[in-house]
């Protein structure tokens, strides 16, 4: 037998053993479970682009209009992410609340909406006076029309600017409560 053939027969079992161990390591159940769960946790099971949603009250008047260039839903946590959402919340009136943010996350069954980054809530009253609220994060509960944040808030109104840290607002009552460090600059007219 030639020296090359003996050398090949000597290293062939070692090479097969290394290949089998490598294959077993790559396809081990522990790896498959953890990497599969990472993939499943972040998997988008559906998305929609350039969406417009209209909802009407029982009386037939427009309750809200929601627009978003992209909506994504993740299956593992049932969270829906809206990119650049714009919500016009009419609540049966002609003067809507205009709510927008960079993105938002809607909890399962739509119980809460977390508005994230560059949150802006605007409303113009019957006399044409605007009120603009800005913050970086806001949680909105659609069923009760209640919104709250623990972060800094700025409210610009016709008679001045008010800032504070933390806020609770009841959109259906047009009430805003700043929780701490409240400062105001008001114009007397």
The continuous run of DSSP H or E covering 186 comes out as: strand 175-186
Quickly tell me which residue has 């050398």 as its tokens. Answer: 7
The continuous run of DSSP H or E covering 6 comes out as: helix 3-26
Q: List the beta bridge partners of residue 80.
A: 73, 106
What span, in angstroms and rounded, lies between the C-alpha atoms of 161 and 184? 6
Q: Tens of pLDDT along 104-160?
A: 999 988 899 999 999 999 988 888 888 899 999 999 888 888 889 999 999 998 889
CA separation, residue 173 to residues 90, 153, 158, 169 (Å): 13, 19, 19, 8
Q: What is the pLDDT of residue 33?
A: 52
Q: What is the pTM of this model?
A: 0.72
> What are the structure tokens assigned to 43, written together?
């998997």
Percent of the chain with pLDDT over 70: 76
Q: Tens of pLDDT along 8-29?
A: 444 444 544 444 445 444 444 5
Asked if pLDDT for residue 96 goes beyond 60, the answer is yes
> What are the structure tokens assigned to 71, written together?
């909506």
C-alpha closest to that of 81 among 54, 43, 107: 107
Tell me how crowded residue 149 is: count the other CB atoms within 10 A of its CB.
21
What span, in angstroms and rounded, lies between the C-alpha atoms of 115 and 27? 41
């Amino acid at each position: 037998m030639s020296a090359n053939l003996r050398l090949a027969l000597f290293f062939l079992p070692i090479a097969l053993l290394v290949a089998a161990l490598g294959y077993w390591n790559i396809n081990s159940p522990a790896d498959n479970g953890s990497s599969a769960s990472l993939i499943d946790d972040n998997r988008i099971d559906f998305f929609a682009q350039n969406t417009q949603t209209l909802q009407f009250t029982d009386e037939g008047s427009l309750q809200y209009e929601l627009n978003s260039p992209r909506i994504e839903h993740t299956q593992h946590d049932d969270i829906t992410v809206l990119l650049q959402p714009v919500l016009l919340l009419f609540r049966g009136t002609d003067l809507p609340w205009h709510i927008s943010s960079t993105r938002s996350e809607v909890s399962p069954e739509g119980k809460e909406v977390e508005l994230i980054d560059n949150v802006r809530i605007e409303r113009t009253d019957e006399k044409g006076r605007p009120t603009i609220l800005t913050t970086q994060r806001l949680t909105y509960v659609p069923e009760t029309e209640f919104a709250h944040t623990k972060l800094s808030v700025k409210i610009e109104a016709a008679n001045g600017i008010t800032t504070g840290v933390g806020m609770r607002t009841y959109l259906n009552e047009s009430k805003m409560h700043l929780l701490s460090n409240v400062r105001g600059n008001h114009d007397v007219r």
